[in-house]
Amino acid sequence: MRNEEKLHVVTAGDVLEFGGRDAKPATAPVTPLTARPPYTTTRRAAVASQPMPAPSRMHYALLLALTWACGPAALLLTVEGRRHRGWLALGILATLALVLLALVPYARWVAWTGLATPLAWSSLALLATIGGFSAWSRAALLAGGHLPPVHRLPRLLRSRVGVGALGLLAPGCGLLAGGSRWHAVLWLWALWPAALGVLVLRAGAGMWQHLSATIPDRGATDLLEHVLMLATACVVLGAIAWLVQALEGARRVAPVPALGRGRGDWFAVALGLSCLGLAVGGSPGRAARQLGDAAAILQADGLSVIPLRLAQAADRLDPARAEYAVLAIALHEQRGDANRAAALRERLDQGLASYVALRERPAGDDGGRRGAEFQPSAVDPAQPAADVLYGTMSRRGTAPRR
């Protein structure tokens, strides 16, 4: 569309004429710039007087590296972080507390605080972890504001491989480089239970020795064992979340996803569960053996709740070996739970009764052929041979019927 209008430039001191085709032109002086209404000049002066954010003198790559290396103390790296004294004090105090918890062993805390050590140590660890990750997340958010736009980043950082590698190297860094600042901050803050679990597991041996020596009640040690199991679960879930956020960052920078967001999430969850099931169910005997060995070692150290759970899991994975059930029975009796020990012993006796009857059957009761097949030296369920496939009852030289 063509515009036939003309553009007139009016400066201060010129005379502006108004009028139509038939009317007599009228003149009006142009208001100088200094004589304009006060609200206009005040508004422009206010806009011009707003402080602009000071550009960071540090390169954005170095800023990101130091942000993830310094942790909560990374608030000192930016002008915005140093401006808020409350957040800055929180970051510095949390950093000092976490360093103290990591370097000082639990036995030294016992010498300082005495019987109040479990409460004092756990309270300090909880507050330091939550406060530290909150300050760290704010530092990451402020550092993300100094990044250039995504289209100005190097091509490697804009690719799915680069974003995924950054996410695996530092949690949330890949999402931050991909332009998802708030997602990066939320994923980083959500990892504080895993960090707290690492601190608890690191001090678990000292806690056990202190409680077993000072408190004779089994309830305190049982509570500590449940806390250790919860800490282990937090660490495992944190590792899974670390991997998930790296894959999420790689998916967000993909130009056209092959699957929708909802379907892609469900496919990723199904793939993870399949890999976990394959790792455990692919070799149940080996997994059960490792769990049984760990249960025996922990039982020798005086624990009872964790070895019992491990022995029960090993018995479910490989019920053909009776030593896992025997270990679980011994742990039930050690804890004073006679009813569960008797029920487990009865189940074990019922499982072995058919095998004992099969061993004691004469060779000529079934035509001699079947009796000769099931000789006492043929199969030992406690030590299964390589030619026995449990669950299919197939033996060497015979194929299952189809």
Label residue 135 by pLDDT band (50, 70, 90).
very high
Could you tell me which residue, 364 or 396, shows the higher pLDDT? 364
Res. 395 pLDDT band, cuts 50 70 90:
very low
**pLDDT value of position 56:** 52
Q: What is the pLDDT of residue 388?
A: 39
pLDDT at 230 over 90: yes
The pLDDT, as a whole number, for residue 11 is 60
Q: Render pLDDT for 172-213 as a digit per residue (tens, 0 to 9).
A: 888 888 888 898 999 999 999 999 999 999 998 888 888 888
Average pLDDT of the segment spanning 257-278: 64
Q: What is the mean pLDDT of residues 366-380?
A: 48
* Residue 261 pLDDT level (bands cut at 50, 70, 90): low
pLDDT tens column, 40-78: 444 444 444 445 445 556 788 888 889 999 989 999 988
Position 394 scores a pLDDT of 36
The answer, yes or no, to whether residue 1 has pLDDT greater than 60, is no
**Position 402 pLDDT exceeds 70:** no
- What proportion of the chain, given as a percentage, has pLDDT over 70? 71
Q: Which of 8-12, 42-46, 267-271 has the lowest mean pLDDT?
A: 42-46
pLDDT in tens, 285-335: 888 888 889 988 888 888 889 999 999 888 888 887 888 888 988 888 888
pLDDT at 180: 84
**Average of per-residue pLDDT values in the chain:** 76
**pLDDT-based confidence at 257, cuts 50/70/90?**
low
Domain spans, the chain:
60-255, 288-364+375-402
Percent of the chain exceeding pLDDT 90 equals: 18
Q: What is the pLDDT of residues 141-178, one digit of tens each?
A: 998 888 888 778 888 888 888 888 888 899 988 888 88
The pLDDT assigned to 367 comes to 47
| pLDDT digits 0-9 by tens, 119-132 | 889 899 999 999 99
**pLDDT band (50, 70, 90) for residue 98:** very high
What confidence category does residue 282 fall into, taking pLDDT thresholds of 50, 70 and 90?
confident
Place of tokens 């032109």: 25
Instruction: Give the model's confidence band at 268: pLDDT under 50 very low, under 70 low, under 90 confident, else very high.
Output: low
Q: Who wins on pLDDT, 252 or 187?
A: 187
At residue 275, the pLDDT reads 75
Confidence of residue 22 (pLDDT cuts 50, 70, 90): low
